[in-house]
Structure 1
Amino acid sequence: MNKQHLQRGLFSSVATLAAAATLMVGGVTVSAPAAVALEKDGQYYSSKQPYVAPDEQTVASYSKAPAGYAPIYTESMARHGSRGLSSYKYDALLMKMAEAAAKDNGFTSAAVKDEFLANLKAITAANVANGYGMLTGQGADQHQGIGERAYQRNKTLFDAAAKSGDKQAIAYQSSGEARATESGENFARGFNAASGGELADSTVTPADPAGTGEAAKFDKTPNTLYFHKTDNPDGTTKTGDALKIAQEYEDFIANDKTIAGAEDTIASDPQLTAASHDLLRQIFTDDFLAKLADGGYTWYNTADGTKNGAVNCAPGADPAKDADACGEAKKKIASEYDAAMDLYNLYIIAADMKNENTGSHTFDFDRYFRGDHAADARLFAWALDAEDFYEKGPSRAGQNETYKIAQPLLDDFFNAIDKRVNGGKTVATFRFAHAETMMPFAALLGLPYSTQQAADSATDVYTYDNNEWRGEKVTPMAANVQWDVVAKPGNDPATGRAYTPLVRMLYNEKEIGFRDECMPIAKDSHWYKLTELKTCLNADADGKHNTLGDAARLTDGSNPLVPLVSEYASWWQAPQFNEDGTLKSAGKVLNRKVLAENDEKVVAINNAAAKGATATTPSEQQQRALSDRDADKDVATAFRDGFGPVIGAYFADGYNDGNLDKVAAVMNDNGWSGNPAKNVNQYPRPYVTDRGTWAPIADKATGFNQNTGSNDLAGLPKSLNIIKVNTDADGKALGSDGKLHAPDYPKNSYEGSFPSGHTNKAYSRGVVLATLVPQLAPEILARTSEAGNNRIVLGVHYPLDVMAGRIGGQASVAAYMNEHADEVKAASDQLVGYLTARCKADGNGDTLEECIANTGADGSNGYRNSFVDAVSTKPVTDRASALEAYRARMTYGFARTGAAGKAFTAPQGASALLAYAYPQLTDAQRDAVLAATAIDSGYPLDASSQGWERIDLAAALSATVSIDRTGKVVAVTPAAKPSVVTVTDNGGNGSQHNGRPSKPTVTVDANAANGGQLSRTGADVNAVAVAMTLLALAGISLSLWKVRR
């Protein structure tokens, strides 16, 4: 176990499962699940499970490429094959323990002592002979077989490459670790033997060779194959983005309190302690074990077993040739669990050393795990799997670090295909790495057994009962992922462009589909369009993938957005499902009035936006909406408008060239998934053909939803007059950014509509920018609201969906700012510093505020938008109209569903959103500002949003806040930039400004000075509304303003 949580002695009080095999976690006993996979043999080898090659029937069942398509490329990533012990540690420490037992009469008998010592000496000698950490005979055989079968599967590709005469070649890559390279060497031997060596010399020349001889053709690529550590296997340190990714991951593992707590919960399970004692008492006396349990013994992996002893090297080893034959001094046995786990590790590695387990090196560790002790093995496997699951696999709900680290590898897969499709000569790329590579990659791809996260809880932890993740299934020795690519010559008559290449995947040489979000070319096909995979696998390139799993997607308890938008359940009763996924009950409209208004608004906005569209060219607003489909990924394009043309260009440059990497990190790292709420509510999309028969189940034959439902629509129309964007054969159309984007009509049709995930993500970006540059908050937030509104423009969401997305986006940013204040501060400094430097260099001002004023970014030369509709009725041409557009989209003009005039209480943590606008205010004072600028109560989703629906962030970030001498907020006034003044009374001379404030003020009855609860009456809120709009909307009546909200 190579990380600190489970290894640092947390298991000193852990325990075991009884022979009946039940698990108790957090005091709750759960029955053992039915044995799965290789568990049925009672072996429990965890991630040391030897590779099981596919049988002939599996190989024969691989699907053929569609007619007219031929193979053009294949690529893979494989874990190294079976190996011996990675270093002299488990055997070394148990030998120290055995020596003490021999001295203190601690063995149960002389025969047991002799047998145990003989086993230890034999496995150590076998590893010395083989080389610690190196492949065993099994490992070599595994990869030779995989290489042979890789050639046979793509024989036509490789035979054509050998005969082409245009220098087509194979690329071999390694993490740089010796056993990874050795695995690749054996793969190449099997491949070349099968092919007759026809491409043995046709290899890509590596930029950084992994060694000499056979290793010379392997390129060391630790950035994609050893991404989990800042230090590479060759001792160098990563740089650039690779270093940043590794540092963030290492920091996550070292400091995530939830994971540490979950591992503590597992470590403190009393059954593991019982299992440890049960296992060891086969060998050692109870008195000896009692002394160990009481702290009477501690053995370090040093020559004399003491903490500061000399280096301990395996007997007979040559450290100059095998550095791993000398152990790590920090490893120790200080508890029964430590010793039992070391013995378990020898048991599971012995399964990978069958070729070496012979002659004078014969050992038998199976004998300690037979019969009732198989239950012990199961518990130790669970403990080992838990550490891997939390630190390298899907981990806990809400985290994305274990997904992010594998993104460069997925990018490399796609980039390699693109190079080949665009004329590259490399016909295959074979990569060799580690379990630490495979586990995050499997989670990122959503491979079988890697789709489900554990709860975001330190007590409700991963177990074999509640999660199917198993090391033996996810990453056995030599585990591999292989992609085959086929192409069809000529142009597709439907599009006039080249046919899209197709891809299929093998996982451990079994043909599988990509995750459910990806649509194959036909029902039951394993072939997918390359464009489809780029969309569905990179849909959340910030790391928040749909692979967050069933727990995140289908439960309603752990995702913070679910309760904030739960008022929706009073208008619509979601369909329910049986355990096998079939429909149990259809959906039912509970409030026809609210959902009818929802229908009217989506049709009005969508139809207005479609004016001017043709059969081949989307309208101008549709093109803008298509571009915004990827606003969360292409932040520079989507949000530059919010800064105005001049500063916006600076922002885009800095974001794209990496100068704003800290800003990007904050935007990419915050945010909550909208999928849990989407799956809880399951409302049909506005564009589906029949909302009455709609059910949220994909029909892969058509690419749409299954029409198997019988929803009670309470008289609402079964279909709406939604005008779809005309798309090409790949389901895409040209956006305003000049790129092709998918409006996602087929893919989204079987996903629930409420809430809007894209709006949620857009706000998680836009709110960050608005809080860090509050001088332009109204413009940035108006642009953000446009991105959300554009989901309605495309006809893929209703206004209520978008309103819910705003709630989730701003709430998630506030949560992130409270939890990651240092990262946000660094991002703020970077953004303001960079923009200021660019402004100064171009003569636009020495400060950012001067630059904003000189370029007109907060006025008529700022964010502009000419699109209007029934909700946002005026073009955005300046700040006043930007504020008006933002307010209008806060409620979309819905009639109230609750009472007006209710007191407003700021949501917990919301004050963080004002921290950079008003750094001199306390949290309570900032809450007062939120109260003063909040809209009235009673609009849809207000009842469940805990105040988030009412927060007018654009107004709150653009005001002058007046406080009296006691610190009480007495007035909030619309302003060109956020500021704070101290006044002697509610209108007298202030300490920062002479005379009375020149703009209308709002008196706030809030006990901000002493932290009392902040609340407003309905009348107060109406007064705020008047004050905040007078400057921008002179002459417009309050009643008209209410309608336009």
Structure 2
Amino acid sequence: MPRTSPHARTLVSIAVLAMLAACGGSDDVTDISPVTTAPAAPADPGFVESVPVPAVAAFVDTVATNQRGDARYATLATNAGVRVLGGMLDIWKPLTEIVDAGVTAPAVDGFPAVVASGWTGVPNDGTNGGTVVNAAVHNANIDYVVKATANRTPEQARLAYLDDRRNKGYSVTEGMGPLTSAWRTAARATTTINDVPADATTVKYDDGGNNNGVGGDANADFGKVVDLINSMGNNGSTEPAKRFYKYARPYRWSTAVKVVPQLEPAKSTTPNTDGGFTSGHSAEAVRNGVAMAYVLPERYQQLVGRGLELGESRILAGMHSPLDVISGRVQAQAVAAANLLAASSATRAAAVTQAHTTLMKLTSTTAATFPAYAVSGTAANDRFADYATSKANYIRRMTFGLPQIGATNVPAAVPKGAEVLLETRLPYLSDAQRRAVLKSTAIASGYPVLDDPEGWGRLNLFAAADGYGAFNGNVVVTMDAARGGFYAMDAWRNDISGSGKLTLKGSGRLALYGKNSFTGGTQIDGGTLEADAEGALGSGDVYVGSAGTLASKAKGQLAIGGNYAQLDKGTLDITLGSASAGLVTVKGTATIVGGTLRLRFADGFKPAAGTTYRVLTAGARKGVFTSVVADGYKATAVYANDGVSVRIDG
């Protein structure tokens, strides 16, 4: 079969056949009249979703109150780090609701002096150590640790040991995948703990490494990155919450909890100052993960996922319970947002630029090749390489299966400043749009500890990195390919619901992978909207403007639930595969004012010369394409009243 170069594009004149029964075309006379006027684009909803800031004290404004040993910040009402975890009071009532476990502080500014609590730190020892308010949740919380430690694998035990003893920043860099070595080299990050000792004689904090590495001017190529990550610890202590809630570690609640043997020496001998809620290791890991994800958004989900994985290591170690770990995530997200905002936009941007410049140099990549390299790992060298597994683990680790105890249908709130957490991952969106993304991807309400008034507990950063979960109102996305990175190309993988409309502008490429059900329609005024799933376009009309491209890359047939319209100079780009993969099926009318039909062929699919392939079906078709382009082949458009086919001529 004669062929051109596989990379060539062959432009052919339009040929029209009145009837093509073999392709399922109509036996009626086909209307091949040009259409000069397109129907109107899907109607704009008339509003843009605005997610208000909750009318409560904002964590990002009051983060400096997260202190212990200061009478001004000794209560839930006055300490931001305690207040954000207030849902714990529905599970457990501490002996005193003061930051006072092993703490004293003089009276100041009218606040009474803090007197050390009589809490012993040992439950069930006959003293008044606090009260279980919700026995079902408390029992499930401790039982989870009993089962987890009884069934942990040797590899889980190994990681639990490393995640306990090793500096958290160094451990989180494992979420870098193919970039781990380059990152550690650039940061000059070191550790002295690389494996589990054979015995149980080591001390608790004996990592002689430098955690996040070398910052400041001493590291000209990466110091700004290290400095930004180090700043995440500002006002981030979990000690005020520990000293307020006074909730014991799981191995003190139950002797059935099996601490990793090599960590037995790490058990504190002063339980009255060693509460389990909230987990400091978990909080630090999440803060570091969020900051690293901010400067390296190509690994966003993997890095925030590594933060939660380290939290689970604390459970598998026997050192913490799910509630301890969950609360660490909640507080850490709030602290990270506060510190990112405190750093100023210029400081943040400088760190992002420095990270990419240095890592590209170390990996011999360019701005064009770096994004793919960052996620080029396999299961053999990157345990976060499998997207589905990483997603499932993240969702599981958000709640650890604890029962919902409150209403499950309360609309999500989005905290003040939380949008900064997505600033580099979704850079082409506005702050208001990022807030809408966070709201639409938040987990359900009702889970223990997670229903804080601001909304920190319900934020699902993994899902938010996959774009909107719902379109409410008019969603206009403008991408700029010239800026590279996510401005040029991005993918949204959530299942998008809602009655809103999506409009794509600019020159970038946005791929939709979800089983979407939004009803407001899709308008492509510029750039390329890539549909990678059969239901990617929801159930509304689709309108391709003169500067827009709709790319059908679905493994099955791409369904358009309403009408389809394509303007002159617009493009329908179809990747055709076996079993009609990529075929566009329009429920209503397909109106083609002109433009290009671009045909590609999926890997492994080789069209046969002389064969005609259906590329578009519709309830009715009007108009014709101006041109047809096929990769490596000569092709002819064949029209029927109910669709379009392409004959491969050679």
Q: Provide the rounded CA distance (Å) in 2 between the counterparts of 1:963 and 1:853.
A: 29
Residue 183 (structure 2) aligns with:
651
**Residues 1:996 and 1:895: Cα distance change in structure 2 (over 3 Å):** same
Residue 725 (structure 1) aligns with:
260
The 3-state SS of whatever aligns with 1:936 is: coil
Offset from partner CA, 1:523-570 (integer Å, 9 cap, x none): xxxxxxxxxxxxxxxxxxxxxxx9x63548854344322111111112
Offset from partner CA, 1:843-870 (integer Å, 9 cap, x none): xx312x6234246446646631xxxxxx
Per the TM alignment, residue 675 of structure 1 is displaced from its structure 2 partner at its CA by 1.1
Per the TM alignment, residue 639 of structure 1 is displaced from its structure 2 partner at its CA by 2.1
Are the counterparts in 1 of residues 63 and 338 from structure 2 also a CA contact under 8 Å? no
Q: Provide the rounded CA distance (Å) in 2 between the counterparts of 1:793 and 1:624.
A: 9
Aligned match for 2:241, one of 668, 677, 680: 677
Aligned match for 2:425, one of 917, 924, 933: 917
Q: Provide the rounded CA distance (Å) in 2 between the counterparts of 1:588 and 1:963.
A: 44
- CA RMSD for the aligned pairs? 3.6
Q: Provide the rounded CA distance (Å) in 2 between the counterparts of 1:747 and 1:580.
A: 14
Q: Provide the rounded CA distance (Å) in 2 between the counterparts of 1:999 and 1:771.
A: 32
Larger Rg: 1
Aligned match for 2:171, one of 638, 653, 668: 638
Task: Tell me the TM-score normalised to structure 1 length.
Answer: 0.35
**Residues 1:603 and 1:580: Cα distance change in structure 2 (over 3 Å):** closer
Aligned pairs, how many?
A: 393
Q: Provide the rounded CA distance (Å) in 2 between the counterparts of 1:961 and 1:567.
A: 26
Are the counterparts in 1 of residues 298 and 375 from structure 2 also a CA contact under 8 Å? no
Offset from partner CA, 1:793-830 (integer Å, 9 cap, x none): 11111101101100111111111222222322222111
Q: Provide the rounded CA distance (Å) in 1 between the counterparts of 2:382 and 2:467.
A: 19
Structure 2 residue runs of 5 or longer lacking an equivalent are 1-61, 101-113, 120-126, 189-213, 479-489, 495-500, 506-519, 540-650
Residue 567 (structure 2) aligns with:
none
**Residues 1:748 and 1:960: Cα distance change in structure 2 (over 3 Å):** same
Residue 370 (structure 2) aligns with:
851
Q: Provide the rounded CA distance (Å) in 1 between the counterparts of 2:88 and 2:350.
A: 38
The 3-state SS of whatever aligns with 1:983 is: strand
Residue 830 (structure 1) aligns with:
354
Q: Provide the rounded CA distance (Å) in 2 between the counterparts of 1:846 and 1:964.
A: 37
Is 1:563 aligned with 2:88? no
Q: Provide the rounded CA distance (Å) in 1 between the counterparts of 2:157 and 2:312.
A: 11
**Residues 1:792 and 1:746: Cα distance change in structure 2 (over 3 Å):** farther
Aligned match for 1:993, one of 524, 528, 531: 528
**Residues 1:769 and 1:981: Cα distance change in structure 2 (over 3 Å):** farther
Residue 764 (structure 1) aligns with:
287
Is 1:606 aligned with 2:138? no
**Residues 1:965 and 1:933: Cα distance change in structure 2 (over 3 Å):** closer
Kindly report which structure 2 residues correspond to 1:674-823, keeping only aligned pairs within 5 A, or say none: 674-688=238-252, 691=253, 719-727=254-262, 743-746=266-269, 750-821=273-344, 822-823=346-347
Offset from partner CA, 1:134-180 (integer Å, 9 cap, x none): xxxxxxxxxxxxxxxxxxxxxxxxxxxxxxxxxxxxxxxxxxxxxxx
Residue 603 (structure 2) aligns with:
none
Per the TM alignment, residue 720 of structure 1 is displaced from its structure 2 partner at its CA by 3.7
Are the counterparts in 2 of residues 964 and 986 from structure 1 also a CA contact under 8 Å? no
Structure 1 residue runs of 5 or longer lacking an equivalent are 1-396, 400-454, 457-545, 612-618, 692-718, 733-742, 865-875, 1005-1045
Aligned match for 2:407, one of 899, 918, 921: 899
Residue 438 (structure 2) aligns with:
930
Aligned match for 1:983, one of 496, 504, 526: 504
Are the counterparts in 2 of residues 988 and 995 from structure 1 also a CA contact under 8 Å? no
Per the TM alignment, residue 950 of structure 1 is displaced from its structure 2 partner at its CA by 1.6
Per the TM alignment, residue 622 of structure 1 is displaced from its structure 2 partner at its CA by 2.3
Residue 574 (structure 1) aligns with:
94
Are the counterparts in 2 of residues 965 and 982 from structure 1 also a CA contact under 8 Å? no
Are the counterparts in 1 of residues 232 and 291 from structure 2 also a CA contact under 8 Å? no
Amino acid of the structure 2 residue aligned with 1:569: L
Per the TM alignment, residue 667 of structure 1 is displaced from its structure 2 partner at its CA by 1.8
Structure 1's consecutive aligned runs of 4 or more residues displaced over 6 angstroms after TM superposition are: 960-965, 969-972
**Residues 1:924 and 1:665: Cα distance change in structure 2 (over 3 Å):** same
Q: Provide the rounded CA distance (Å) in 2 between the counterparts of 1:679 and 1:960.
A: 38
Percent identity between matched residues is 27
The 3-state SS of whatever aligns with 2:393 is: helix
Offset from partner CA, 1:554-605 (integer Å, 9 cap, x none): 5434432211111111211102379365459431111101101101111122
**Residues 1:906 and 1:582: Cα distance change in structure 2 (over 3 Å):** closer
The 3-state SS of whatever aligns with 2:528 is: coil
Q: Provide the rounded CA distance (Å) in 2 between the counterparts of 1:961 and 1:724.
A: 40
Is 1:839 aligned with 2:363? yes
Offset from partner CA, 1:986-1023 (integer Å, 9 cap, x none): 3343522156564755989xxxxxxxxxxxxxxxxxxx
Residue 416 (structure 2) aligns with:
908
Per the TM alignment, residue 900 of structure 1 is displaced from its structure 2 partner at its CA by 1.3
**Residues 1:997 and 1:582: Cα distance change in structure 2 (over 3 Å):** closer
Q: Provide the rounded CA distance (Å) in 1 between the counterparts of 2:293 and 2:537.
A: 23
**Residues 1:859 and 1:939: Cα distance change in structure 2 (over 3 Å):** farther
Kindly report which structure 2 residues correspond to 1:52-201, keeping only aligned pairs within 5 A, or say none: none
Amino acid of the structure 2 residue aligned with 1:681: Y
Q: Provide the rounded CA distance (Å) in 1 between the counterparts of 2:314 and 2:237.
A: 17
The 3-state SS of whatever aligns with 1:687 is: helix
Amino acid of the structure 2 residue aligned with 1:780: L
Q: Provide the rounded CA distance (Å) in 1 between the counterparts of 2:477 and 2:440.
A: 9
Offset from partner CA, 1:467-503 (integer Å, 9 cap, x none): xxxxxxxxxxxxxxxxxxxxxxxxxxxxxxxxxxxxx
**Residues 1:958 and 1:774: Cα distance change in structure 2 (over 3 Å):** farther
Are the counterparts in 1 of residues 91 and 137 from structure 2 also a CA contact under 8 Å? yes
Are the counterparts in 1 of residues 330 and 450 from structure 2 also a CA contact under 8 Å? no
Kindly report which structure 2 residues correspond to 1:1002-1041, keeping only aligned pairs within 5 A, or say none: none
Kindly report which structure 2 residues correspond to 1:249-648, keeping only aligned pairs within 5 A, or say none: 549-551=69-71, 554-576=74-96, 579=115, 581-582=117-118, 585-609=128-152, 611=153, 619-630=154-165, 633=167, 635=169, 637-644=170-177, 646-648=178-180
**Residues 1:784 and 1:945: Cα distance change in structure 2 (over 3 Å):** farther
Are the counterparts in 2 of residues 904 and 947 from structure 1 also a CA contact under 8 Å? yes
Residue 470 (structure 1) aligns with:
none
Task: Tell me the TM-score normalised to structure 2 length.
Answer: 0.54
Amino acid of the structure 2 residue aligned with 1:608: N
Q: Provide the rounded CA distance (Å) in 2 between the counterparts of 1:988 and 1:964.
A: 15
Q: Provide the rounded CA distance (Å) in 1 between the counterparts of 2:229 and 2:463.
A: 22
Q: Provide the rounded CA distance (Å) in 1 between the counterparts of 2:477 and 2:408.
A: 24
Residue 20 (structure 2) aligns with:
none
Are the counterparts in 2 of residues 571 and 590 from structure 1 also a CA contact under 8 Å? yes
**Residues 1:936 and 1:965: Cα distance change in structure 2 (over 3 Å):** closer
**Residues 1:943 and 1:964: Cα distance change in structure 2 (over 3 Å):** closer
Per the TM alignment, residue 785 of structure 1 is displaced from its structure 2 partner at its CA by 1.0
Are the counterparts in 2 of residues 775 and 958 from structure 1 also a CA contact under 8 Å? no
Offset from partner CA, 1:25-46 (integer Å, 9 cap, x none): xxxxxxxxxxxxxxxxxxxxxx
Are the counterparts in 1 of residues 140 and 402 from structure 2 also a CA contact under 8 Å? yes
The 3-state SS of whatever aligns with 2:275 is: coil
Q: Provide the rounded CA distance (Å) in 2 between the counterparts of 1:595 and 1:992.
A: 52
Higher strand share: 2
Q: Provide the rounded CA distance (Å) in 2 between the counterparts of 1:580 and 1:642.
A: 41
Per the TM alignment, residue 678 of structure 1 is displaced from its structure 2 partner at its CA by 1.2
Highest relative contact order (Cα 8 Å, sep 6+), 1 or 2? 2
Higher helix share: 1
